[in-house]
């Protein structure tokens, strides 16, 4: 028999899973404009990968459930390695849990299936949409303030990126060799910092920062722009995405600690931008 604590954890996990799946299914039908995504059929929910992830996630929870809680709070920082497929050994999972998951999958699968629907685009519209998507001289970008997609000539997009931003004094052009050398030097400095101040950081902070380095697949950040179509004439908003880059983990850790520190002595409140 499954013990009470394990049964409660199983029930909570199923509730969170169903809530997320229900929200995803409801949002799939929400339209904010022409429904170009409904060409041919409704979205395929891909339930099998979701259930596999649910199964693996809960097995990991069971595997580590016996560990004594440390001083970390529920707001603990963590590194999610999307490239890892490790799962606890099968013999460490209770048979009752396996039976429940199988029954849950069997009951849930028939509720999610791909429906064939008639396209709401005529052949001319479909051909036009395909042409726009594959046109080598056009690019589709997001607009600022979520005002919808923007279709633009690729040459215009590149020119505005260069003239408005990248050729300005704010940015410095580096060759690939110089950028690689700078990244390597920054990584060495960060590793040295973790080594020298391991005792001050503590095991948990040190582990998080070390794992954030190990999870880096591409150390560089990426630049792109959003079209500010609500301006006349239209302008561009620069975005530098550092998500997954070399310093992403360190930046997230600093932001988390500074926010907790400033909350103790610096009162804050929302104010209008004007």
More confident residue, 234 or 108: 234
Percent of the chain with pLDDT over 70: 71
pLDDT at 164 exceeding the cut of 90: yes
What is d(CA 100, CA 116) in angstroms, rounded to the nearest whole number?
A: 31
Q: What is the mean pLDDT of the chain?
A: 78
**165 torsion bin: left (phi>0), alpha (psi -120 to 50), beta (else):** alpha
Q: What is the pLDDT of residue 150?
A: 92
Q: What is the per-residue pLDDT across 114-146, written as a single tens digit (0 to 9) for each?
A: 677 778 888 899 998 889 888 999 999 999 999
Q: Stretch 46-69: mean pLDDT, rounded?
A: 76
Contact 234, 228 (CB under 8 A): yes
What is d(CA 51, CA 132) in angstroms, rounded to the nearest whole number?
A: 36
The answer to which of 26-30, 60-64, 230-234, 258-262 has the lowest mean pLDDT is 26-30
| Helix %, strand %, coil % of the chain (to 5) | 55, 10, 35
What is d(CA 75, CA 57) in angstroms, rounded to the nearest whole number?
A: 18
Q: Which residues on neighbouring strands pair with residue 149, listed in sequence order?
A: 142
The model's pTM is: 0.58
Contact 150, 211 (CB under 8 A): no
What are the structure tokens assigned to 246, written together? 């070399």
213 to 84, 247, 249, 251: CA distances (angstroms): 15, 8, 7, 12
The answer to which of 58-72, 73-87, 184-198, 246-260 has the lowest mean pLDDT is 73-87
More confident residue, 15 or 22: 15
More confident residue, 119 or 8: 119
HEC-encoded secondary structure of 172-207: CCCCHHHHHHHHHHHHHHHHHHHHHCHHHHHHHHHH
């Amino acid at each position: 028999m499954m013990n009470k604590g394990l049964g409660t954890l199983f029930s909570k996990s199923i509730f969170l899973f169903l809530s997320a799946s229900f929200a995803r299914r409801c949002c799939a039908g929400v339209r904010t404009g022409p429904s170009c995504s409904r060409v041919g059929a409704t979205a395929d929910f891909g339930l099998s990968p979701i259930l596999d992830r649910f199964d693996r996630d809960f097995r990991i929870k069971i595997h580590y459930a016996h560990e004594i809680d440390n001083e970390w709070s529920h707001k603990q920082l963590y590194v999610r390695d999307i490239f890892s497929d490790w799962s606890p050994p099968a013999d460490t999972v209770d048979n009752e849990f396996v039976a429940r998951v199988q029954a849950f999958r069997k009951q849930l699968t028939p509720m999610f299936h791909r429906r064939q629907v008639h396209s709401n685009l005529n052949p001319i519209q479909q051909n036009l949409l395909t042409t726009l998507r594959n046109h080598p001289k056009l690019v589709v970008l997001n607009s600022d303030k979520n005002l919808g997609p923007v279709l633009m000539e690729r040459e215009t997009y590149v020119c505005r990126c260069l003239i408005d931003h990248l050729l300005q004094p704010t940015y410095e052009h580096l060759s690939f060799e110089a950028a690689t050398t700078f990244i390597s030097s920054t990584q060495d400095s960060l590793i040295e910092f973790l080594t020298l101040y391991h005792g001050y950081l503590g095991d948990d902070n040190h582990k998080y920062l070390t794992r954030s380095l190990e999870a880096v697949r591409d150390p560089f950040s990426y630049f792109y722009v959003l079209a500010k179509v609500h301006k006349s004439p239209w302008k561009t908003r620069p975005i530098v995405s550092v998500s997954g880059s070399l310093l992403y983990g360190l930046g997230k850790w600093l932001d988390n600690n500074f926010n907790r520190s400033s909350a103790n002595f610096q009162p804050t409140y929302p104010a209008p931008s004007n």
